[in-house]
Amino acid sequence: MTTILLTGATGYIASHTWLALQAAGFDVVGVDDFSNSSPLVLERLQAIGGKPPVFERADVCDADAVEAIFRRHRIDATVHFAAFKAVGESTAKPLEYYSNNIGGLLTVCRAMRRHGCSRFVFSSSATVYGDPESLPIREDSRLTATNPYGQTKLIGEQILRDLGAADPAWQTACLRYFNPVGAHESGRIGEDPRGIPNNLMPYVTQVAVGRREFLQVFGDDYPTPDGTGVRDYIHVVDLAEGHVAALRRLFDAPGSFTVNLGTGRGYSVLEVVDAFARASGRPVPYRIVARRPGDVAACYADPALARELLGWQALHDMDRMCADSWRWQLNNPRGFEA
């Protein structure tokens, strides 16, 4: 069997990827320190996947702990999710973001090299494109970071390019996620932001369920069809399948690659609000407020390269993204809180 190490394994995208890897026939070893996720995810994964998860509790910045994991398990490839990911928080806490996001990556790569493991999938982000010069965004578009979080993704990608240039044994896949939303159809795992959600979809679900009074729409004076921000929302299950396809290519073909994982379709904030109201049957009251600093008008992918290299494309539409987000919210009013 082929064994995949998943770091940040009990997080939102990683937990869905865990299920997709299992279904694809891979063995999985999950690692997390629960700094931004719940141990309850492990029970849910067993309930859905039917197998007791192989899990190691560890901070990926702890070199001794990571070394011990590589000694206990024969790892064939690593999918590295473990990182802090809040744009606004990164501006307030740059030292924590660089230490954790870059330090964790380096620690994992050093352990991999010691153990002859050289296939690596990196969780990157469309945030590396900054304010896109043209749309849809291709992988060879200009790269720029407007916040420390985005810088950690740019630096991470550069580290992996340099690793591959120094030693062709390294095969790396940088996956640039657009806007992940939705949840597993079971409603048993999903996005569980702590405190007030930064992102649109979890905020909308909390308004629809009555946990928040109304949605603040950050600006309606953007150069977009209805004036509100346009983004490429992608179902988290499609995103998970993109990781499986990327790993298969790393095992089946030589070389490294960087691809967008998006649908190629942009939706405005108000279009998401309308779609969610239809999917949930609930009103989503909102108020137009000032733009959020750092937001761009529009951002959506050209997904052609992932289709060409990986034979992968997103399959779930906005109605499904909203229906699955709503089911998760209804089934878990307080997320993974015990």
Which residues are catalytically annotated? 149
Report helix, strand or coil for 133: coil
Among 37, 118, 125, 152, binds ligand WQD (CB under 6 A): 125
User: 10 by DSSP, 3-state: which?
Assistant: coil
Residue given tokens 């928080």 in the structure block: 89
276 near ligand WQD, rule: CB under 6 A: no
- Euclidean distance between CA atoms 116 and 134, whole angstroms: 41
101 touches ligand WQD (CB under 6 A): no
Separation CA 280–CA 166 (nearest Å): 52
Which residue's CB atom is positioned nearest to ligand WQD?
229
Q: Minimum distance from CB of 231 to ligand WQD (Å)? A: 5
Contacts of ligand WQD in 211-230 (CB under 6 A): 215-218, 229
Query: Of 27, 199, 274, 282, which lies in the binding site for ligand WQD, with binding defined by CB under 6 A?
Result: 199
Q: Does 99 bind ligand WQD (CB under 6 A)?
A: no
Q: Binding string, 21-60, against ligand WQD, x = CB under 6 A?
A: ----------------------------------------
How many angstroms from the chain centroid is the CA of residue 138? 19
Any idea which residue has 């620690």 for tokens? Answer: 107
Out of 176, 184, 231, 327, the only residue in the binding site for ligand WQD (CB under 6 A) is: 231
**Residues within window 288-317 making contact with ligand WQD, judged by CB under 6 A:** 292, 295
Minimum distance between the CB of residue 203 and ligand WQD, rounded to whole angstroms? 4
The span of 138-146, 165-173, 197-205, 257-265 binding ligand WQD (CB under 6 A) equals 197-205
| Alpha carbon distance 127, 151 (integer Å) | 9
- Residue 299's φ and ψ, nearest 5 degrees, are -155, 110
- What is the C-alpha separation between 226 and 229, in angstroms, rounded? 9
Task: Give how far Cα 64 sits from Cα of 61, 70, 117, 156, 332, Å.
Answer: 9, 10, 17, 22, 36
Task: Candidates 4, 69, 75, 200: give the one binding ligand WQD (CB under 6 A).
Answer: 200
Report angle CA 236, 130, 221 to the nearest 5 degrees: 90
Residues at the site binding ligand WQD, with contacts judged by CB under 6 A: 85, 87, 125, 127, 177, 179, 198-200, 203, 215-218, 229, 231, 269, 292, 295
